[in-house]
Structure 1
Amino acid sequence: MAPSSAAKIVVCGPSRGGKTSLANFLAGLSESVGHPSLKYEPTAGVRILECERQPGIAGGKVMVELWDVSGNMSYETCWPAIIKDADGVVLVFNPEIPTHEPEIATWYDQFALGPKVPIECCLVVAHRADPKPVPRPRVPPKLANVAAVSTSFASAQAAAAAFDDLLRAVQSSKSARK
């Protein structure tokens, strides 16, 4: 577990899925979730962002550590250290890239199933360049019961709302384990 004052949330998924853009948005470092015209710069290993969010849990603020994990498989040996004590997992992929849908199942196995992160403390974000709304993204069958949201570069408010739902679930899970 992350220190009781902070919720450790791991943001992971395949390369070029939009993880860093989403993490920057959720941490308040940007007002939108990137844009396809921005130069792609892969994350090296992991980036840790700290922020404070108010997801509506009895009006209180939640300190959050967002662990933005590189999608480069060469860092796989670091994954056990990254996932250690995680309270929640946000799996990010781009449904417009055909290989991402099957890859997201592998990320789920490694970052949620293996470490036994409760399903209610997991979120799938299908991040697309196409701004056309999609009610629920298509995900592999093993992720059918995981909360999922579709976002685009044009609008990420759905991701922010889903992330706040995840934080409420994490807070409930942490309280139940005390």
Structure 2
Amino acid sequence: MRICWQQAYSMLRTKILMVGPPESGKSMIANYLGDATESSGGEYNPTQGVRIMEFEWDLGEDPKTGNPLRADVELWDCGGRKEFESCWPAFSKDAGGVMMVYNPDKAQQHLTELEKWYTYFVAGQKLDNSQCVLFAHRKPNAPAGSEEPPPAGQLSEVHCVFTDLEEEPEGIREEFTKLLFGLFCHHRDRQDQEEMRIVGNT
């Protein structure tokens, strides 16, 4: 992850991982964010290993310079099946943020997996909780019912939001923007601290 300052705008370049159980809606969210479409005939097609999408994202205004702020995003839609765990080191390399997705109607079933992904992709990569978000994603045509609370334990410290592409698609865009903007601020603060340390040692 890095920040570039151009004459006319500021640019964040970052790699974002999308992880979660199979059939939790990761690819649908990724397609929505990347303005991509897929023809699957209504059938579920699990992601084989990983699918990488690249796109730019408008983050509004840089609060420090007043310039337009953009993000150059590399979104990794990671397959959730156990057979792909051997690929986790490659998935996590140089990742700046993590989006964890699960089905709230299967919260108890997914709890163990979510804890494992958090331990590896967030805590294990020394990312702050501000560098990740948890999507409790209700899939299309899901039966009506009460929303299960988000998982407890270490995941209780992660920002969790209920999402629905049919009812509130803009909510997903807003949360993605918040994540990217937080990554920009986090990384710039670290750069500023490093520059101050270098100046202090000269």
Q: Which TM-score tier does this pair reach, normalised by the shorter chain? A: 0.7 to 0.9
* 2:77 counterpart of 1:68: yes
Q: Contact 1:93–1:127 at 8 Å: present in 2 too?
A: yes
Q: What is the alpha-carbon distance in structure 1 between the residues aligned to residue 182 and residue 163 of structure 2? A: 21
- Aligned partner (choices 135, 142, 150) of residue 125 of structure 1: 135
Q: What is the alpha-carbon distance in structure 2 between the residues aligned to residue 100 and residue 108 of structure 1? A: 12
Match of 1:11, as an amino acid? M
Q: What is the alpha-carbon distance in structure 2 between the residues aligned to residue 144 and residue 170 of structure 1? A: 20
Q: What is the alpha-carbon distance in structure 2 between the residues aligned to residue 175 and residue 131 of structure 1? A: 43
- Aligned partner (choices 39, 44, 51) of residue 47 of structure 1: 51
* 2:176 counterpart of 1:163: yes
User: Which deviates further from its counterpart, 37-46 or 16-25?
Assistant: 37-46
Q: What is the alpha-carbon distance in structure 2 between the residues aligned to residue 16 and residue 23 of structure 1? A: 13
Q: What is the alpha-carbon distance in structure 2 between the residues aligned to residue 3 and residue 136 of structure 1? A: 38
Higher RCO structure, 1 or 2 (CA under 8 Å, sep 6+): 1
- Aligned partner (choices 96, 104, 110) of residue 114 of structure 2: 104
Who wins on radius of gyration, i.e. which is larger? Answer: 2
RMSD between aligned residues: 2.4
Corresponding residue of 1:27: 34
- Aligned-partner SS, 1:138: coil
- Count of residues paired in the alignment: 173
Q: What is the alpha-carbon distance in structure 1 between the residues aligned to residue 53 and residue 152 of structure 2? A: 29
Q: TM-score with structure 2 length normalisation? A: 0.77
Q: What is the alpha-carbon distance in structure 2 between the residues aligned to residue 165 and residue 57 of structure 1? A: 13
- Aligned-partner SS, 2:35: coil
Corresponding residue of 2:153: 141
Q: Which runs of 5+ in 2 are unaligned?
A: 5-11, 63-67, 192-202
Higher helix content, 1 or 2: 2
The CA deviation at 1:60 is 1.6
1:54-96 per-residue CA deviation (whole Å, 9 max, x = no partner) reads: 1224232111000100001111111011101100000001111
Q: Which runs of 5+ in 1 are unaligned?
A: none
* 2:18 counterpart of 1:8: no
Percent identical residues = 35
